[in-house]
Each structure stands twice: as C-alpha cells, then as structure tokens.
Amino acid sequence: MQAVVKEKPAPGLKVATVPKPTAGPGEVLIAVRHAGVCGTDLHIADWDDWAQHRIRPPVVVGHEFAGEIAAMGDGVEEVADLKVGQLVTAEGHIVCGHCLQCRTGNGHICRNTRIIGVDRDGAFAQYITMPVTNVLPLNGIPTTVGAIMDPIGNAFHTVLTADIPGSTVFIAGCGPIGCFAVGIARAAGAAKVIASDVNARRLELAARMGAHLTINAAEDDVVRTVLQATGGEGADVVCEMSGVPSALHQAFAAVRMGGRVQLLGIPKDAVPVDFASEIIFKGITVYGVIGRKMYETWDHMRRYLTSGLLDPRPVITHQFPLARIDEALAAIRSGGAGKIILEIA
Ligand SMILES: [Zn+2]
Ligand SMILES: [Zn+2]
C-alpha cells in the first residue's frame, strides 16, 4: 500500500510502498479515506529536537484520520457493535488500561500512552490497524470532518472543561484548534467570544467560526482590548492555544480575578511565570489540556457535530492527495492555512 513514511533519522518524509497491515486479535483494519495534517507532522518532517528524541524510524506518520472498516480481528465482534463497511474515526492515543490514571477514568493522561504516527505506524496510509477500544463510529459525520476529530477534540476538551454558558471567553491563538474552540464556545452558550492572533487570515477564520471580537496581536494591545470588552473585569475563561510566551502572559493578564485559564498551546522553551501576580493573587484556576478525555470528549463532540451545533468545515482550507504531502506541509509552513486534509481513498 501507499504510505507517507519517516524512513531515516533525518529531515524529510517519503511517499513509499509498504506492506498492508492485518488486524490482530482485538484490532480493526481501517481503509483510510481522509487524514488531517498537523503541526506534529511538520515537527517529524523537519526532524526537530522533539522528533529526534521521540521518533524511531522507519514509521508511517499521521495521527488524524477517518475511514471505512475493512476487516476485524478475532474477538472484535464479541465486544463492539462494529461491522465491515462502517465509517469510523479513532482516538489516536493508545493507552495501557491498567495504570492509575486509566483505572480512574483519566486515560488521556495515561503514563504509557503510545501515539499512532509517532510511536507506531500511523494514518497517512491506505490502511491502518487500531485497537477496537479506540474506534468510534461516525454516525453520519462526513469523513472529511471525521478525519479531524482529533484536533477538534482537543478544542472540545479545552473549552468544555470550563464553565461556558453565559461566560466571556478569550481565545489566544487562532490556528485550527483555536478556531474550532471559538465555534465550540459559541455553541456552548458563551455570552462573548474574543479571539486573538498575529495573522489576519486566521482572524478571518475565527470570525467565520463566530468570534464576536477579533484582536490582531501584532497591531493592538490585546489585554487592554479584552478588558474593555469585558467591562474592565477580564474574561471569565481564557483558552491559550498558541504556546507563544507573549500570549501566555496575555492570557494571565486578561483573565478576570477568580477566572480560569486553559492551557493547550505548547511553548517551545521554558517560560518564566510570575506565580504571585499572574496566578496566586488573582485566585485563578489553571488547567493543562492533553489530548481528549476518553471517551467523554468524543461523545460530546459527536453530539455537537451530528446535531449541527458545530460545523467545523469553514476551518478546512486545503485538501491534497496523499502523494502531495510536501505541498500540504508547505501550506502549514505558510502560516495562513486553516486545517489541511489529505485525500487517501
Ligand atoms: Zn494533530
Ligand atoms: Zn494507562
């Protein structure tokens, strides 16, 4: 089968022919139709510091996908209501099921997590095998959207673990996940959604997803604008989606006393924090977002998507066939792209 492979411990990705996998016991073989391209794939292609420490080539990359069940391994039919031909997506974090976190319903922070397309073969391929526990029927959601339920799920996890109805919400960073978060906050009943970024194209996407107010952080004073828009109080909930140090400090400055800061963006290096003034004396709660809650986030997300509460499609700006992965990565590098999808079948 055709796949995008990290072949060697060096920069670059290669479109190659690799053996088609088979479904082992408890596994499902999925024919991939669409896959989402994300910053993680760019890190692997560029072979940055993180990739050098994490990736053990050769590995098929890609972790966001949806497709059709092609075969089921032994024992699957007994435990799951799945059938060949069904359209599905999957949680790409494969967790151990027996650590303290898994056993207390917190699989998203399993200490033994293995990620498809990172620690084992991934989804930029005609076929992928997944443990049946990770497979989720799309229930009518198109595979273009199913392919990006991983990052949409990050946004759901970020937004819905805060108290949103009637709240003022400030979203710092309008990459695809930030734009999804804008739409989710609106759908969940936020009274006002404010979004910031340094890129005008991304701010347009945030506005299309329902932001009441967008702030160009390269031109305007972000904190002052958020304070003005919230009657001088600051936002009830701030979602930091960029990991950029200046935006992190703006997040803490723009949250109201007693508010909540949700941290999803990952800073490249250590960022100094003034714990006294930024956190303690403001009495705020800070929450670190990893992956998607298994499977609470997925259930919420499917209901928002199937009911029409959220339409994430405006955020999809590019589609490429699998073989044009280099163009997909270039579009991410350009900075102005929304979500990028590979067409596989
Ligand atoms: Zn991703
Ligand atoms: Zn575990």
- Would you state the structure tokens that stand for residue 269, as one six-digit string? 């290096």
Ligand 1 is a single-atom ion; what residues have CB below 5 A from it? 38, 40
Tokens of 300: 């919420």
Q: What residue type is assigned to position 131 of the chain? A: P
d(CA 302, CA 15): 32
State the ligand closest to the CA atom of 266.
1
Extract the tokens encoding 325.
Answer: 């992965």
pLDDT for residue 336: 81
Ligand 2 centroid distance, CA of 121 (Å)? 20
40 in active site: yes
The pLDDT score that the predictor gives to residue 337 is: 92
Distance CA 79, CA 60 (A): 28
Whether 161 is catalytic: no
CA 335 to ligand 2 centroid distance, Å: 35
Cα(24) to ligand 2 centroid in Å equals 21
Gap between the Cα atoms of 138 and 145, Å rounded: 9
Of 34, 40, 63, 129, the catalytic one is 40
Ligand with the closest atom to the CA of 133: 2
Please tell me the predicted confidence (pLDDT) of residue 68.
Answer: 98
CA distance 323 to 329: 12
| Predicted pLDDT of residue 239 | 98
* Ligand nearest, relative to CA of residue 61: 1
Query: Could you write out the DSSP letters of every residue in 106-149?
Result: -GGG-TT-EEBTTTB--SSBSEEEEEGGGEEE-TT--HHHHTTH
pLDDT in tens, the chain (345 residues): 999 999 999 999 999 999 999 999 999 999 999 999 999 999 999 999 999 999 999 999 999 999 999 999 999 988 888 999 999 999 999 999 999 999 999 999 999 999 999 999 999 999 999 999 999 999 999 999 999 999 999 999 999 999 999 999 999 999 999 999 999 999 999 999 999 999 999 999 999 999 999 999 999 999 999 999 999 999 999 999 999 999 999 999 999 999 999 999 999 999 999 999 999 999 999 999 999 999 999 999 999 999 999 999 999 999 999 999 999 999 999 988 999 999 997
List Cβ neighbours of 154 (8 Å cut-off, separation of 6 or more). Answer: 177, 180, 264, 289, 291, 292
Complete domains list, the chain, with CATH:
2-148+312-343 (3.90.180.10), 153-288 (3.40.50.720)
DSSP-assigned states of every residue in 71-112: EE-TTHHHH----TT-EEEE-SEE--S-SHHHHTT-GGG-TT
Which of 17, 34, 43, 297 is catalytic? The answer is 43
- Cα 29 to chain centroid, rounded: 23
Which ligand is in closest contact with the Cα of 108? 2
Pairing relation of β-strands 27-37 and 64-72?
A: antiparallel
CA of 233 to the centre of ligand 1 (A): 34
